[in-house]
Structure 1
């Protein structure tokens, strides 16, 4: 049965689709059968997939489905969960009943955080939603925050410095969440692959691609460590 990840942020443009394609490419490279579910009405993920087909850059071990309603999401998961090793859902960038369905279906919820107040608040909302669902249903969904689009000058921004204590305050308040150590930097290659170039792992191994690959490998390893532990302890 497939493990289910979802990328959740109620802030549009937070970097969910980029995050999804980066980790999907890494898992696919490792031989995992990956299903990407585009549940966002903007259809950025399926748009990337269409461009990949048009340009002949179709990744191996990856499939894409569109499911924009609660019923469609539940149906796709029930139908395909035994055909794939990993299902990754790109959730809508709005707080909705669809988002709640996605969280309930997930083993791991990933929230990208850019160094901006709106993005940080959106990650906090996702953490609250996960904890609320865990409390009500007795489940152990893991919520992980990932800093994205980081720049060296950006590390001096007040918003960037606020991320770690913000997540620490959430944990102290009883929310089941954690901040990953691995960061995704602002890289041209991350933007370029969205134009139908396939996955990061398909690109020629130039120095910028090599650095990006190491970054994504570290991210996936950290997600694995967090998510394979006991549910409640995974975010500790």
Structure 2
């Protein structure tokens, strides 16, 4: 059965598109067929895909489609879902009716969090939206948070230190969410691949790329292990 994941944050520039392309590359490397859905009106994901085609860096096992309305998102999942093992949706960076459709269509929602208070607030809003959807429609959509653009200095910031207790507080309040242990560091290669270089997994295996690939592999392993431990129902 096709799995549908969504990268959702109520803040623009949170790192959703980077997260989506990193995950897609790792799943594709594992021979999974991946459909990426660009539902963000900034179209960073489809822009990356266009550049990949122009530079002849199209990755195997990945396709990208643009869906900017509720109907087109539902159609992409219904009409093309059977051809793919996993669908990953890059959601718009604002709370909207379209975001509601995306969450309801997903088995798993992932929110990137950078070490900043606004990022925490945005992730908290998505947690609330996912839980409201579960309660309203008797669903079991899971929600994970992943720390992104982390650096050694950032780990000394108050906002960084507050991430774990913030998520723990949501869990204590009976919200269905979790903070992933794996972090994505601030790496030049993550920005560079957005210029049409394909996926991270297609890059020459320099030491920098090796570290990044280990990081992303660990992230996907953790996502799938945690997902398997949950009883995730079908999306509505």
Q: Tell whether the structures are fold-level matches, with TM greater than 0.5.
A: yes
2:147 is matched with 147
* Helix, strand or coil at the partner of 1:228: helix
Displacement after TM superposition at 1:178 (Å): 0.3
1:107 is matched with 107
Q: d(CA) in 2 for partners of 1:21 and 1:41?
A: 17
2:176 is matched with 176
**Alpha-carbon deviations, 1:136-178, whole Å to 9, x = none?**
1111111000000000010000000000000001111111000
RMSD: 0.7
**Alpha-carbon deviations, 1:74-108, whole Å to 9, x = none?**
11111011110000000000000000000000011
- TM-score (normalised: structure 2): 0.97
Preserved CA contact (<8 Å) 1:142 1:231:
no
Matching of residues 120-139 of structure 1 within 5 Å: 120-139=120-139
1:63 is matched with 63
Q: d(CA) in 2 for partners of 1:219 and 1:2?
A: 20
Displacement after TM superposition at 1:231 (Å): 3.0
User: Is residue 2:78 matched to residue 1:81?
Assistant: no
5+ residue gaps, structure 2: none
User: Is residue 2:198 matched to residue 1:198?
Assistant: yes
Matching of residues 18-57 of structure 1 within 5 Å: 18-57=18-57
Q: d(CA) in 1 for partners of 2:172 and 2:133?
A: 18
Q: d(CA) in 2 for partners of 1:201 and 1:169?
A: 36
Q: d(CA) in 1 for partners of 2:102 and 2:63?
A: 18
Q: d(CA) in 1 for partners of 2:229 and 2:133?
A: 19
- TM-score (normalised: structure 1): 0.97
Counting matched residue pairs gives 232
1:2 is matched with 2
Displacement after TM superposition at 1:135 (Å): 1.0
Q: d(CA) in 1 for partners of 2:70 and 2:231?
A: 25
Q: d(CA) in 1 for partners of 2:16 and 2:231?
A: 23
1:14 is matched with 14
**Alpha-carbon deviations, 1:1-33, whole Å to 9, x = none?**
310000000100000000000010000000000
1:189 is matched with 189
Displacement after TM superposition at 1:183 (Å): 0.1
Displacement after TM superposition at 1:230 (Å): 2.6
* Helix, strand or coil at the partner of 1:184: strand
Q: d(CA) in 1 for partners of 2:119 and 2:44?
A: 19
Segments of 4+ in structure 1 off by > 3 A?
A: none
